[in-house]
Amino acid sequence: MFIIKLGGSVITDKTKQQCFKEDVMDDLAEAIKKANKETILVHGAGSFGHILAKKYELNNGYKNDDQLHGFSVTHKMVQSLNSLVLKSLHKNDIPAVSLSPHSILKLNDHKILEFNYKIFNAYLEQHFTPVTFGDVVLDKKLGFSICSGDLLVMALAEYFKPEKVIFAIDEDGLYDANPKINKNAEFIDSTTLEELEKFITTADKHDDVTKGMEGKVDTIKNIAELGIDTVLVNGNKPERLYQLMVGKDTKCTIVNGRK
Ligand code: IP8
């Protein structure tokens, strides 16, 4: 089984509010269909979530009643992105079913308190493809906060122990320095948890309320600790995702799980 996270910066244009990259999503859906593997899909919020979540300061919990409006419109926006993702999956004949985090999990100070994993199992057993996404959620300590797609991936990886966790990002993978400012930056094909500490990631952080790429490295470390391999692959090159899923070599960074 695979857990795949489609990055918000792959499926949306993060610089423009609510800008869905339909062509990219359609190509990714086609690749996933062609690979024909048991999969849980998670997607980021991109410009459908981060701009509003930042505006209403939703990640640090309840401060005033205006945020209630902020919470509900942010939820509506990420849900509408999710509907666009589902539409693309359905066009490609993938039996995708949406599982909205706000209704199946609860956080406590940003950590998972309750998560209905069984619902994922129940859909998988019937050969559906569960799709979940970064969302606003209830938080026992804070009132509410944000559950990023990465947190979902981590929790699902721990529960399902997939063959691989794949992050489709808007870069080819990891470099040993930032290639945007360092011409000598070298691409990393394969690395370990220990080596990962040393690498500087390439992606610019935009305005992610959930820490963007910096947070991703922490996520990968946690997954590697579980003994699961994590792969970073360029989501704008869907054939690479396909090749990965069917076990062929392709350009990507593999972070080997702790053995
Ligand atoms: O894009 C963030 O999820 P992410 C969710 O996976 C919201 O970090 C609501 C901003």
Among 50, 137, 138, residue to substitute to test ligand 1 (most atoms within 8 Å of Cβ): 50
- The CATH code for residues 2-162 is 3.40.1160.10
Q: Which atom in ligand 1 lies closest to the alpha carbon of residue 45?
A: 1
pLDDT at 199: 63
How many Å apart are CA 29 and CA 15, to the nearest integer? 23
**Residue 205 predicted with pLDDT over 60:** no
Please state the domain extents for the chain: 2-162, 168-229+250-259
Rounded mean pLDDT, 64-77: 98
DSSP conformation letters of 51-114:
HHHHHTTGGG---STHHHHHHHHHHHHHHHHHHHHHHHHHHTT--EEE--HHHHEEEETTEEEE
Q: How far is the CA of 135 from the centre of ligand 1 (A)?
A: 6
Average pLDDT value over all residues in the chain: 92
Confidence of residue 212 (pLDDT cuts 50, 70, 90): low
